[in-house]
Structure 1
Amino acid sequence: MKKRLTLSTFLIILISTILLSSCSTFNNSSGAIELNISAAANLKEAMEEIQTEFKKINSNINLTINYGSSGSLEQQIEQGAPCDIFISAGQDQMKFLNDKSFLLENSDKDLIKNDLVLVGPKNSEINSISDLNTDKVKKIAIGEPHSVPAGKYADETFQNLNIKNEISSKLVFAKDVKEVLAWSTSGNADVGFVYKSDVLNDSNSKIIEAIPDDKHSAIIYPIGILKASKNIDASKSFEDFLFTDTCKKIFKKYGYHLT
C-alpha cells in the first residue's frame, strides 16, 4: 500500500532538492578561485605580464589587481577592503600591517629592489640634481611623502643633500609615481622623482640623474599574504610564483633588481 506524503515532508524534500541543485550549479560554474591583489602603482606593467604567465599554469586562479600608492593601499586594507596579497613599494606599509597582525605569519618577504631617479621631458635642459635650486626649475614633482614611498625617498634625498629648505616652495605633490611621471613629461612640472622602472621604457621621458643609494632608504618591495584571505593556498602559490625564474626575468626586463 502506497504511503501519501504529508505537506511538511513534501516541502522538506523540495527544499533539499533545490539546495542540492544550487550547490551543484555553484560548484560546477564557480570552480575558479578569485585572488585580490593590492600592488604599488608602478608595478602595473610588470604585473600584467606576470599575470599572463601565471594564468598559463594556473588557469583556475583569477587575479584582480588593484593598483595605487602603497600608503593608500595599506589604509584600504586596514579599513577592510578585500585583499589576499599586498605588494608594497616601501617597507613601512608592510611593517605597519604586520605589527597590527593583518599578515599571515611568516608570509612577508622582500621581493625586488628599485632605484630613484630624477626625470624630465625628453627635451629637458636640466642636467643634474644641483639645478633644482636654480632658476631653471620652477616646479618639482614628488609623491606625497606620507603615502607614496617614492615621495619619502625623494624627501630623504633633499634632507641628505641639505637642499630641502631651498626647494620646498617648488614642490608639487602627486598621489602616486605614475602621476609624478605624467606631470614631469607633460610640462606640469619641470622635473620629478620616480623609480627607474617607471621610465626605462618611456619614450617621453629623460633620466637626468640616478640618485645614489646612500642618499635615501633602501628601495625594497615586500610582499605579504593577508591573514583574512579566504584563499591562503592559492595566495601562497602566487607568492611562490613571483620568486621563480620566469618572474625574475620579467622584473629585470622592467628595471627592477632582485633581492
Structure 2
Amino acid sequence: MATPSAMYSGSGKRLHRALAGLIGTALLVFQSAALAETATLAVAANFTGTMNRLAPLFEQQTGHQLRISYGSTGKLYAQIRHRAPFDAFMAADQERPRLLEQQGLAVAGTGFDYAEGRLALWSRTPDLFTDGLAWLARQPERLAIGNPKTAPYGIAAMEVLQNLGLAQALRPALVSGDSIAQTFQFVATGNAVAGFVALAQTRAWKEEGSLWLVPNDLHTPIRQQAVLLGHGEDNPAARAWMLFLASEPAQAIIREDGYDIPEQPNH
C-alpha cells in the first residue's frame, strides 16, 4: 500500500490544495441557508457509527442535507465506476479513490486521508480472551473477517493471520462478510465466536465482550481516504461536506470514535 509521501506531491501540499479547491464554493454555502442542497455520499461501512454523529452536526451548521449509502469499499467503488450518482466517496482505503481520479471519475486534487482505522479482534463473550495471539493459536472454530476482495479491513485481517503464521491453519474457520458491517453482525449475533472488526464498531458495546487491539505492526495501515466525485463537482453541499470532514470539530469526533487522524504533510 502506498506510503503517505506517495499520496501527496513532492512539495507536500496536496491536502492544502484539496481544501483550497473546496473552500471557495463552501464558504458561500456556509453563509446562506437559502443555498442549501443535498449531497449523496458513498461511505465505507465501518464508518457508519461515526457518520451518525457527524451528519447531524454538518446539517445543523450548514443547512445542507446528506443522503448516505453504506457498503464495502469495493462494492461502492464498483457502483461509482458504473456511474452511480454519488457526489463524494469516503473509502476505507487509499487505493480506490486514487483509481477513480485516474479514471476521471473523481475531481483531481480533492482526495485526502480523513481517518486511520484500528483493527480489533472482538467477541461478544466476556473474558473469552485478553491475549488475542494466544487465543488465535488455539484455532477457534468460527472466526469472522471482512472479504479481502471488497473490504480493506478484511485485507488487514488476512495480513495479521499471515504475519502470525496462522493463515492456513485458520482458513477452514473463516467466515467472510461482504462488508465490515456484516462481519461485525456475524459476531454480534453469535454466528461467529469472534472476528476482526473496526475498533470503532465495538464502541456501542461499551465494556461488554472481549477485545484485543491488534498491534499496528501486524498489518498495513488502514488509511481511509475521501474524494469529491465528478458528479458532485458543482454541488455546494458536497464541497461543504468535504471541507467539514477535514475540520477540527469533525476530526475530534473521529478520534473519539476510535480512529487515528493521519498526519498530513506540512503545508
1:72-128 deviation digits (Å, cap 9, x = unpaired): 111110111111100011122222222222110100111111211101113252342
| Aligned counterparts of 1:170 and 1:176: Cα–Cα separation in 2 | 18
Q: Secondary structure at the match of 1:80?
A: coil
Q: Which residue of 2 aligns with 1:74?
A: 77
1:235 offset after TM fit, Å? 2.0
Contact 1:154–1:216 (Cα < 8 Å) also in 2 = yes
TM-score normalised per structure 2? 0.80
1:199 offset after TM fit, Å? 0.5
1:231 offset after TM fit, Å? 3.0
1:211-254 deviation digits (Å, cap 9, x = unpaired): 11111111111000012325344322211111212112211221
Q: 1:158 aligns with which of 149, 153, 161?
A: 161
The residue correspondences of 1:19-58 to structure 2 (distance < 5 A) are 32-58=36-62
Letter paired with 1:178: A
Q: Which residue of 2 aligns with 1:214?
A: 217
Question: Please, what is the CA RMSD of the aligned residues?
Answer: 1.9
Gaps of 5+ in 2: 1-33, 263-267
1:51 offset after TM fit, Å? 1.3
Q: Does 1:169 align with 2:172?
A: yes
Q: Secondary structure at the match of 1:217?
A: coil
Q: How many residues align?
A: 228
| Aligned counterparts of 1:255 and 1:208: Cα–Cα separation in 2 | 13
1:135-188 deviation digits (Å, cap 9, x = unpaired): 5x1001001000011101001111111111111111010111122122113221
Which structure's CA Rg is the greater one?
Answer: 1
| Aligned counterparts of 1:74 and 1:205: Cα–Cα separation in 2 | 34
Q: Which residue of 2 aligns with 1:179?
A: 182
The residue correspondences of 1:192-211 to structure 2 (distance < 5 A) are 192-203=195-206, 205-211=208-214
| Aligned counterparts of 2:124 and 2:65: Cα–Cα separation in 1 | 37
Letter paired with 2:245: L
| Aligned counterparts of 1:106 and 1:236: Cα–Cα separation in 2 | 13
Gaps of 5+ in 1: 1-29
Q: 1:93 aligns with which of 92, 96, 100?
A: 96
Greater mean deviation of Cα atoms: 100-109 or 41-50: 41-50
Contact 1:85–1:235 (Cα < 8 Å) also in 2 = yes
Q: 1:129 aligns with which of 127, 133, 155?
A: 133
| Aligned counterparts of 1:68 and 1:129: Cα–Cα separation in 2 | 29
Q: Secondary structure at the match of 2:254?
A: helix
Contact 2:142–2:193 (Cα < 8 Å) also in 1 = yes
TM-score normalised per structure 1? 0.82
Q: Percent identity?
A: 25
